[in-house]
Chain A
Amino acid sequence: MERMGKPSVMIDTKPFFSDSKSAAAAVGLPDLRIVALPVATTANRPEEELKRVAREVLQEVIDGLTKKSASAETTKPEPFKPKPARELSFTGRDYIEAMAAMEKYFLANRWSDGFPLIPPTREAVEEMIGATGLPGDHIVGIVDPKKGVATVERIAINAVMAGCRPAYMPVLVAIVEALTDPAFDLYGVQCTGGLTAPLVIVSGPIVKELNLNFSYSTAGPGWKSNSTIGRATRLILINIGQAWPGINDMKDVGNPAKFGIVIAENEVQNPPNWPTLREREGFKKDASTVSVYASQSFRQIHDSQKYLASSKKPEPIVDPMIARLMSTSLNATAEQWGEEILLVIGPVMANILAGHGYTPETIAQELYEKGRIRRDIFGPRPLGAYAVGSGIPKWIDYLPDDGMVPVVPRPEDIKIVVSGGRGPGTGFLVDRWGFGNSHFVTKQVKLPAHWKDLLKELNEWQTPIEVK
């Protein structure tokens, strides 16, 4: 509005004040008048309290629209040239003490995830940069919310800190490309009060090459590649994007996935006639890809073998999927319509379904058709602005209250990946984050010319993967 020539004041609550200031500065309006209401929320508060708050901020609102401010002059945009990272020195009686000094400093400055950090020395960082085939000042993306420039060098620094090996760098570069794609809405994911965090899925030959665990507990600890790539992703979001809880990351409780979750497609036990995730996302079979998804909670779908033994039909698998899908949407509101839903299924479940003639496409089609929710869950007619923003079609308004609405716009918005080991036949459905337009984004991993050489040293960094 200021850019359209209209004096404006922004009203926000006190806890969100720093977030609003940060957001305004990031779009070139550091002087925007923001009035912080002296309460945590104004939703569902007593009338007397709202009247009192209105009286308390009244003069500030009037001043914001009528009093002059010493606003900065417009500066001409200059081409951005990344500068090399500055060097910091830490001294101790020995190496351990110097490392402790570094860690204390990083913690005090909010540059850490709280775990011990590997010192990002120039030599270690250069080795990481060399693994990409790209120059250190190459810009991979701009990381929200502070618009931190993710050069290959800054990605490499955080990769060293997380404990990555150089050969993981091409995957990290692809992850940053995916996270900073406008379709992912990283600003929303980083700053929302919704409990979301990116979940990364790796697909392709690189899964085996990097010893990424695609089998039992793929979403858990134990493998250097899964763990440190996930950790580096979080450090990049913290340090390059400069997101911090309570300042511009307003998640009330957070999400365990914020520690970094990287799962891998189990191509070894993928049903033979099922295309891989990357192929379904439009990439070639011999390519390697990363996909990012704004995950919320993980809901288990279980015991398909047991149910199947009694019925010999696939309904006992598909029905719980449908139930989870519907409860996911019941948990949400109309604001969360319009994005994708992720279904991670183990190889046992996948192969039982394949035996009954299912493919990922037909599973998605069946879930789309059967996993519908009642119109009245979306709220009163006409649809609210949430719905408009989420792209919910207007025809929903013409349905009766008990009319059924699909939980995603199209069957292909139900993303399915086979991952995990051969356990009792489980899988999980991952809730999506709403309020915003975060979409499932997939990018190809680009490998440097000396890729095979980089892999040699990984022979010493292997954890066995159990495939049964």
Chain B
Amino acid sequence: MRRRILCSVAGVVFLALLVPYVPATAEPVTLKVLDPRGEIFVPPVTPLTARLDTLAGKKVGILRNTKPGADSFAPYLEAALKGVYPDIQFRTWVIPYNDYPNKQKDLKALAEWADAVIGMMGD
């Protein structure tokens, strides 16, 4: 029994002597970095123009961007609108995304003819 007590005391003393050699828990490391995103240049917001009271009897310009999805869907949407408003009129402008010499002139002609515009995009 005495021997066991002596061993325990010796063990405690040994461990106490080791304490200075056990490394303390390291301080956390904080890494400060800079946000890589570009600051967004926000253009002035344009409010939407006044909406029409109804599409009945109105001229609706269909603006197609030349992609096949727009070309194939436009007739079906026109037919559906015509089902609700039989006297609605449509006229199509094909104006590609690309710049070309008469682009602004074509857009202006569309705006002059139409009361409203449906833009058709798509692959």
Contacts and interface: CB of A to CB of B under 8 A. Distances in A.
A122 to B, nearest CB: 6
A240 B38 contact: yes
B69 interface: yes
B7 interface: no
B40 A157 contact: no
A74 B44 contact: yes
Interface residues of A, number: 108
B39 A83 contact: yes
Nearest to A58: B80
Interface string A443-467: 0000000000000000000000000
B2 interface: no
Among A4, A29, A239, residue most surrounded by chain B Cβ atoms (within 10 Å) = A4
- How big is the B interface, by class? 35 or more
Give the secondary structure class of A's interface.
mixed
B108 interface: yes
Contacts of B122: 11-13, 16, 37, 41-43
A149 B29 contact: no
A42 B28 CA distance: 56
5 contacts: A43-B68, A151-B38, A154-B37, A385-B94, A389-B100
A2 interface: yes
Q: Which 5 A-B pairs have the closest CB atoms?
A: A148-B38, A389-B98, A240-B38, A389-B96, A28-B43
A101 to B, nearest CB: 8
Contacts of A335: 66
A3 to B, nearest CB: 6
A7 B32 contact: no
Contact of B98 (A16, A111, A390): A390
B95 to A, nearest CB: 7
A210 to B, nearest CB: 23
Interface stretch (A85-93, A400-408, A420-428): A85-93
B10 interface: no
Contact of A88 (B28, B34, B54, B95): B34
Interface string B90-123: 0000111111100000011011001111111111
Interface in B30-71: 30-55, 60-61, 63-64, 66-71
